[in-house]
A = this chain, B = another copy of it.
Amino acid sequence: MIELTPIGRVESELTDQASAPKQGLEGAPDAWLVFEPAVLDALEGIERGADVIVLTWLDRARRDVLRVHPRDDLANPLTGVFSTRSADRPNPIGLHPVQVASVEGARVRVRGLEAIDGTPIVDVKPVLRRRLDT
């Protein structure tokens, strides 16, 4: 059994999944990442201007969905979820590339995050510059 431990939560003005942008670059607001005190040491080095990838657990998602109409548009043919960014998937891990706007202790402000208020954060990674985009 693989058990994830939330390391923090998203604090956002977005409260409704249906009306939230599908991707961060589609008009998502800035948001706070509020980390557990226990992981403060792991934040060392996270600074204003850093490009990071936030991994979340999309706890409102359905895990029994294997195919979707991309972007919830019935005009798009049914597609396997591994070819889409659908939140509904066997393990609904969200991948959010964002830029750090400011750091205040265990509170990190980031730009353009589409995850809704209360979403558990499970990891943060630096962006590596290379051939592929996220």
Q: Which residues does A use to contact B, with CB under 8 Å?
A: 1-7, 23, 25, 39, 41-46, 50-53, 55, 57, 59, 63, 66-67, 78-85, 89-91, 93, 95, 97, 120, 122-134
Contacts and interface: CB of A to CB of B under 8 A. Distances in A.
Given A91-B7, A122-B91, A123-B91, A44 B67 contact: yes
Nearest to A51: B132
A27 to B, nearest CB: 14
Contacts of A91: 4-5, 7, 55, 122-123
Contacts of A52: 82
B93 A67 contact: no
A45 B79 contact: yes
A48 to B, nearest CB: 13
B89 A123 contact: yes
A132 B54 CA distance: 12
Given A2-B122, A3-B3, A7-B91, 12 more contacts: A2-B6, A41-B80, A44-B67, A45-B79, A53-B95, A55-B95, A83-B126, A85-B125, A90-B123, A91-B123, A97-B131, A128-B134
